[in-house]
């Protein structure tokens, strides 16, 4: 056991550290090392964060701070980053609020930092507390969907997952104080509106590889259907030359389907990816305009499913029709 030895009325005594309150232990750690502890928590989910939501978060943190004995602060600083990789540092919340409305750039992320001095029970003296909240937006990634349609498959899988939207980092002396601020952000995050991504869209994206593979196999299935129907309509009696010509005709139909298939797959993929909307920050007019364009470009997932079914069925329909037509023409010619 770790002990602190001292002189008690001329005798020797020992006081175990474990008997001290948690706050006193944290204060002692801070006093000896000169360091505070850190706690961080991330919040994942695809949501829409408006300027009013950010104002509400700011006020909720201030309300939580007001529940403690504050010797100094809070001092609030704000850093805003944009899609063009420019960033702006605001020395106060008031300065940030006066600049954002006239900003004309798409927001990438915003970091709000609260710094204050708390006077806590069971601590040696006033303690510094720093609360940093990062809010991240995927809007710069999807603002020009025509430009990003040819991104790798892994890119679309990545942005379709729950976005790491918010992260709070707290330098603290008392754990319960830090936990209280994290709970405030958690409560705020749960009250945000979800992004407009259709629920079925994620499933369509996850199953797209299966759909693409199945549509490729339909060319072979269609070829088999073509030959099978041709032999059936001929009554099962067929010469070698006739089957050879039928194979040639079937291969032509197969080739036509394979030539059309990439265009159908590209069309389906664009419809699915156009509906992906991860978390977005709407702080300025530029953000709102960009988000409006994206919202208006969303399409019906039901029609996408119909298109996927039609792409798979196309090979069967094409080969059935071709088989009957080829049989009719060869019989007429003979």
Q: Report pLDDT for 53.
A: 96
Residue 132 in domain: yes
Q: Which of 301, 311, 146, 306 is nearest to 212 (CA)?
A: 311
Q: Report pLDDT for 44.
A: 94
Domain that holds residue 290: 203-333
Domain edge (last residue) among 139, 162, 194: 194
Residue 21 in domain: no
For the stretch 51-63, pLDDT in tens is 999 999 999 999 9
Structure confidence at residue 332 as a pLDDT band (50, 70, 90): low
Are both 75 and 222 inside the same structural domain? no
Task: Give the whole-angstrom CA distance, residue 325 versus residue 247.
Answer: 14
Are both 230 and 278 inside the same structural domain? yes
Q: Report pLDDT for 14.
A: 43
Structure confidence at residue 227 as a pLDDT band (50, 70, 90): confident
Structure confidence at residue 124 as a pLDDT band (50, 70, 90): low
Which residue has tokens 């050879």? 244
Q: Which of 118, 148, 140 is nearest to 286 (CA)?
A: 140
Residue 19 in domain: no
Q: Which of 279, 286, 289, 281 is nearest to 101 (CA)?
A: 286
Q: Report pLDDT for 11.
A: 44
Q: Report pLDDT for 181.
A: 93
Are both 171 and 229 inside the same structural domain? no
Are both 138 and 66 inside the same structural domain? yes
Are both 233 and 262 inside the same structural domain? yes
Residue 20 in domain: no
Residue 157 in domain: yes
Sequence length of the chain is: 334
Structure confidence at residue 27 as a pLDDT band (50, 70, 90): low
Mean pLDDT of the region 251-268 = 86
Mean pLDDT, the chain, integer: 81
Structure confidence at residue 9 as a pLDDT band (50, 70, 90): very low
Mean pLDDT of the region 250-276 = 85
Residue 27 in domain: no
The residues pairing with 89 across neighbouring beta strands, listed in sequence order, are 79
Query: Is the Cβ–Cβ distance between 267 and 256 less than 8 Å?
Result: no
For the stretch 178-217, pLDDT in tens is 899 999 999 999 999 999 888 888 888 888 888 988 888 8
Domain edge (last residue) among 168, 194, 220: 194
Give residues with Cβ within 8 angstroms of 208, minimum separation 6: 268, 269, 272
**Bond from prior residue into 285 cis (ω within 30 degrees of 0):** no
Query: Is the Cβ–Cβ distance between 279 and 291 less than 8 Å?
Result: no
Task: Give the whole-angstrom CA distance, residue 268 versus residue 207.
Answer: 12
Which two tokens mark 79? 């850093």
- Answer yes or no: is pLDDT of 73 > 70: yes
The residues pairing with 77 across neighbouring beta strands, listed in sequence order, are 113
Query: What total number of domains does the chain contain?
Result: 2
Q: Report pLDDT for 16.
A: 52
| Sheet strand arrangement including 127-136 | 37-44, 164-172, 127-136, 107-118, 70-82, 87-90
Task: Give the whole-angstrom CA distance, residue 211 versus residue 297.
Answer: 23
- Answer yes or no: is pLDDT of 3 > 50: no
Are both 51 and 129 inside the same structural domain? yes
Are both 184 and 210 inside the same structural domain? no
Residue 22 in domain: no
Strand 11-16, strand 3-8: pairing: antiparallel
Among residues of the chain, what percentage have pLDDT more than 70?
Answer: 82
Residue 130 in domain: yes
Are both 41 and 152 inside the same structural domain? yes
Are both 320 and 271 inside the same structural domain? yes
Helix/strand/coil for 105:
coil
- Answer yes or no: is pLDDT of 154 > 80: no
- Answer yes or no: is pLDDT of 26 > 60: no
Structure confidence at residue 32 as a pLDDT band (50, 70, 90): very low
Q: Report pLDDT for 144.
A: 66
Domain edge (last residue) among 194, 225, 242: 194
State the SS3 of 226-258: HHHHHHHHCCCCCCHHHHHHHHHHHHHHHHHHH
Mean pLDDT of the region 256-269 = 86
Quick one: DSSP state of residue 79?
A: E
For the stretch 96-116, pLDDT in tens is 988 876 677 899 999 999 999
- Answer yes or no: is pLDDT of 117 > 60: yes
Mean pLDDT of the region 163-185 = 90
Q: In 10 A of CB 96, how many CB atoms?
A: 22
Q: Report pLDDT for 279.
A: 92
Are both 105 and 153 inside the same structural domain? yes
Are both 151 and 131 inside the same structural domain? yes
DSSP codes of every residue in 174-187: -HHHHHHHHHHHHH
Are both 169 and 231 inside the same structural domain? no
Alpha-carbon dihedral of residues 140, 142, 143, 145, nearest 10 degrees? 150
CA 167 vs CA 71, 136, 155: distances in Å: 26, 9, 22
């Amino acid at each position: 056991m770790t002990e602190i030895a001292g002189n008690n009325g001329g005798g020797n005594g020992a006081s175990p550290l474990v008997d001290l309150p948690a706050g006193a232990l944290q204060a002692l750690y801070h006093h000896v090392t000169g360091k505070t502890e850190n706690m961080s928590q991330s919040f994942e989910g695809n949501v829409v964060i408006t300027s009013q939501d950010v104002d509400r978060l700011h006020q909720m943190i201030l309300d939580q701070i007001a529940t403690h004995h504050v010797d100094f602060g809070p001092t609030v600083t704000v850093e805003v980053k944009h899609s063009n990789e420019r960033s702006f540092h605001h020395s106060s919340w008031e300065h940030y609020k006066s600049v954002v409305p006239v900003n004309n750039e798409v927001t990438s992320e915003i970091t709000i930092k609260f710094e204050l001095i708390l006077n806590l029970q069971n601590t040696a003296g006033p303690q510094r507390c720093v609360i940093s909240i990062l809010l991240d937006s995927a809007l710069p990634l999807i603002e020009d969907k025509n430009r990003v349609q040819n991104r790798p498959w892994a890119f679309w899988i990545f942005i379709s997952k729950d976005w790491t939207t918010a992260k709070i980092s707290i330098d603290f002396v008392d754990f319960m104080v830090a936990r209280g601020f994290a709970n405030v952000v958690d409560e705020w995050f749960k009250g945000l509106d979800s992004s407009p991504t259709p629920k079925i869209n994620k499933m369509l994206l996850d199953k797209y590889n299966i759909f693409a593979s199945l549509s490729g196999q339909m060319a072979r299935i269609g070829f088999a259907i073509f030959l099978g129907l041709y032999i059936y309509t001929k009554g099962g009696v067929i010469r070698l030359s006739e089957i050879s010509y039928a194979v040639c005709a079937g291969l032509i139909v197969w080739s036509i389907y394979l030539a059309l298939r990439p265009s159908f797959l590209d069309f389906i993929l664009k419809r699915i990816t156009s509906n992906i909307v991860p978390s977005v920050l709407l702080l300025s007019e530029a953000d709102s305009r960009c988000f409006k364009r994206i919202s208006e470009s969303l399409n019906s997932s039901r029609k996408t499913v119909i298109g996927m079914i039609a792409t798979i069925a196309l090979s069967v329909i094409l080969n059935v029709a071709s088989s009957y037509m080829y049989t009719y023409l060869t019989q007429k010619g003979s």
